[in-house]
Amino acid sequence: MRGGAPCAGRRHPALSARLGTDYLGAVQDVTRPSDTPDFLNHERPPVPDMVVPRAILPFHLEGRPVRGRLVRLGSLADALIGRHDLPNDVSRLLGEALALTAGLAAALKFRGSFSLQAKGDGPVPMLLADCTDAGQIRGYARAEGMPQGEAAALLGKGYLAFTCDQGPDMDRYQGIVAIEGETLADMTDSYFQTSEQLRAFVRLACRRTPQGWRATALIMERVAAGGGIDGQGDEEADEAWHTATTLAATITEAEMLDDALAPEQLLHRLFHAEGLLVDRPRALSYGCRCSRARLAGVLQGFPESDLDDMAENGLITMNCEFCNIAFRFDRGEVRGGAGRA
């Protein structure tokens, strides 16, 4: 069922109800980071073994209330977006979401993941991207027809959810805001202001270039002198933040998506006179974490009657929306949950 949750089989009312409404409430959440290392997950399908070692470049401005991350997915953007047959503007929105999510996940101080989910009544009713603290990133978008336009036109009215997941033993932290603004960057700014109550700057870019899809995010946050979040400040700090955001706003899409322009060079162009200090770069990798074993666990949550309805010629097919790979299960080997309605 391509129009449902991250992993689903052929269209069925019960399956749609339990897996197609919201991936955060699935029977078994296959989006959670796996406790099994990838090299031990023998049932994982073949996906690109791709790592961009310098995809995220954290930085701060010395003596100024500014810290940030420059995210450049490079060829990873093409590998992630290219697996999906999406209209051009939807692909662009997905790329922006991937770069944004990677930049926000880079701020995690614990083992877990950060996800962005948008649900609306527009022609793109579902948009999802998530990234682990180790830099494993993935995402998908569901489109109806051949929609065009910016994020507002694609998503319609709905909500944007930002979720920090610290693993199965910890409660999730989630911020939810109404979809407001024309672009995904505008919507994220609204989230920072209303949910996090902090000042932030977000610039996103994604385009298909001669080298393939490329996606970039420049994210800055205003911080206190001690490194914490600073919602208010004195006049000098206000002026420093204003200067930094004014300079950041001069960045062009061509600069953001130019593979030949090193990230350090790009940041130097913007902030060389503002005490720029670049931190250690971080890697991103192709990060679909699906596996046959985990999807089998999802199927076991359904009653036998539903599993019978899902089967075609004795097989149940579940398609991972993230990596666009189908898993097939012999109906006779899948036992459903007892007492499920």
Looking at residue 123, its amino acid is P
Q: Report the greatest alpha carbon distance in the chain.
A: 71
Alpha-carbon gap, residue 217 to 103, rounded angstroms: 7
pLDDT at position 111: 80
The residue ranking higher by pLDDT, 9 or 215, is: 215
Average the pLDDT over each of 118-127, 130-139, 329-338 and give the range with the smallest value: 329-338
The Cα angle at residue 142 between residues 82 and 307, in degrees rounded to 5 = 110
pLDDT at position 154: 98
Average the pLDDT over each of 108-117, 140-149, 258-267, 293-302 and give the range with the smallest value: 293-302
pLDDT at position 261: 96
The residue ranking higher by pLDDT, 225 or 223, is: 223
Looking at residue 193, its amino acid is Q
3-class secondary structure, 31 = coil
Alpha-carbon gap, residue 71 to 218, rounded angstroms: 6
Whether residue 304 has pLDDT greater than 80: yes
Q: Over the stretch 106-124, which tens digit does the pLDDT of each residue have?
A: 988 778 889 999 999 999 9
pLDDT at position 129: 96
Q: Over the stretch 142-181, which tens digit does the pLDDT of each residue have?
A: 999 999 999 999 999 999 999 988 766 667 788 898 999 9
Alpha-carbon torsion 155, 158, 162, 168, what sign? Answer: negative
How far does Cα 46 stand from its chain's mean position? 21
| DSSP H helical ranges for the chain | 13-19, 75-81, 88-105, 151-155, 184-191, 235-248, 253-256, 263-271, 292-299, 304-310
Name which of 87, 109, 101, 171 is nearest 131 in CA terms: 101
Per DSSP, the residues of 13-59 read HHHHHHHSS-GGG-SS-TTSPPSS-GGG-TTPPP----EEEEEEEEE
Average pLDDT, the chain: 82
Whether residue 88 has pLDDT greater than 70: yes
Alpha-carbon gap, residue 317 to 328, rounded angstroms: 4
The DSSP code for 11 is: -
Alpha-carbon gap, residue 167 to 34, rounded angstroms: 9
- Give me the domains of the chain, ranges plus CATH numbers: 7-44+289-333 (no CATH), 51-286 (3.55.30.10)
Q: Are strands 173-178 and 66-72 parallel, antiparallel or unpaired?
A: unpaired
Calculate mean pLDDT across residues 309-334: 84
In DSSP terms, which residues pair with 276 in a beta bridge?
61
Q: Over the stretch 21-32, which tens digit does the pLDDT of each residue have?
A: 333 333 334 334
3-class secondary structure, 308 = helix
pLDDT at position 339: 43
Alpha-carbon gap, residue 336 to 341, rounded angstroms: 11
